[in-house]
Structure 1
Amino acid sequence: MQKHVGLGLRNRYRVDVFQGKNLAKKNRTNSYQEKYDKKIFELYKSYESDGAREAVTDSRQSIFSSFWVKVWIILLPLALFYCGYNLYIFLNGSESEVSHNTEQAKFASDENHNDIVIHLLPTIGKPLSTKWRITGELKRDNKSFVILADNENRLRLEPSSQFSFSGRMLQGEIDGGIVSYFSGESK
């Protein structure tokens, strides 16, 4: 039988039932926890005389006598709350940032607003060339050219400075149309 003094529970106890004379863990058959009955609490051996009290020898019997345990009990929930709050702010964003950006958008001048609208409108691009397509690139004597072919397989060299991007994304404007590896009509 053990009292739960270490946990600060002076009126609770644990009883371990063992099989045989060995008190090894493998011989334990049952274990249960109970609370002292207040009606017969005075009948226990340590309370035989009138006004008897249980002798507490030192403060090491209770885990709550340690200063650091009390500090951890207070700081751990505060730290968890702080981390949870910051995680919520990080994932959902601060409302003050959203309202600040909204206020700036409301008070923008009409001139700036018109400029923004012009830049936000999608630009209507030039159509793909139905005549020319890129067939390759040529680099010679520190000069770079793009080789174009028409529908009748006639070749044409154009300087690569007229083209944007590289690889299969290479495109440029030739004769009023956008030329790429995928433009032109195949026969």
Structure 2
Amino acid sequence: MRNVGHIILIFFFLSACAKVNVETKKPIRVDINMRVDVYQHLLKDVEAIESEVYGKEKKKLNGIFSLKKVYAAEYSSVVEEAIKRRKERSSKLKEYFDQGIIGENKEAYIEIVKEDFPSVMREKIVKLVEEENKDREMIYKATAEKNGVTVSQVKKVFFQTHYKRAPQGYLFEIYDEKKGKYVWKKK
């Protein structure tokens, strides 16, 4: 009787097992355009901000709204003030870039790269660089939040935009494959 019970139990378990089909009738589609779309919005924001800072002509969207007006409506007044301060100090930064005193590091921040300049200038340059980097950080964080991306992604796009816009001779921290590390190079 005991063997019959085991056989019935085994039969029950074997008959209860059913084939589970996990295949789909059609292939699963992945929308890769979503990330491209996010990147395009991020790039437009970065270009609009940098055009505001450096005074480049603003592009028109549909011939009506400028990029400045579009991004400005989506940023806080604190970020707007940071952009304004960057614009005000851009000519002084340009002077130090031209002299090779400062450069832009791989994180899209300004850094003092030349140490042999008059010490009376040091305090002024250090303060200028700190203020610029503080405003950049504020803008990077707000841009990341607005676009739903990480701050490091925003910094990368800003760095690429700054490099593209910079005149020949400006210093940038670039990865040197031969040396296997980041080094300062003139554009």
Q: What band does the TM-score fall into relative to the shorter chain?
A: under 0.3
When Rg is computed on C-alpha atoms for both structures, the one with the higher figure is: 1
Structure richer in strand, relative to its length: 1
Normalised to the residue count of structure 2, the TM-score between the two structures is 0.23
Normalised to the residue count of structure 1, the TM-score between the two structures is 0.23
Structure richer in helix, relative to its length: 2
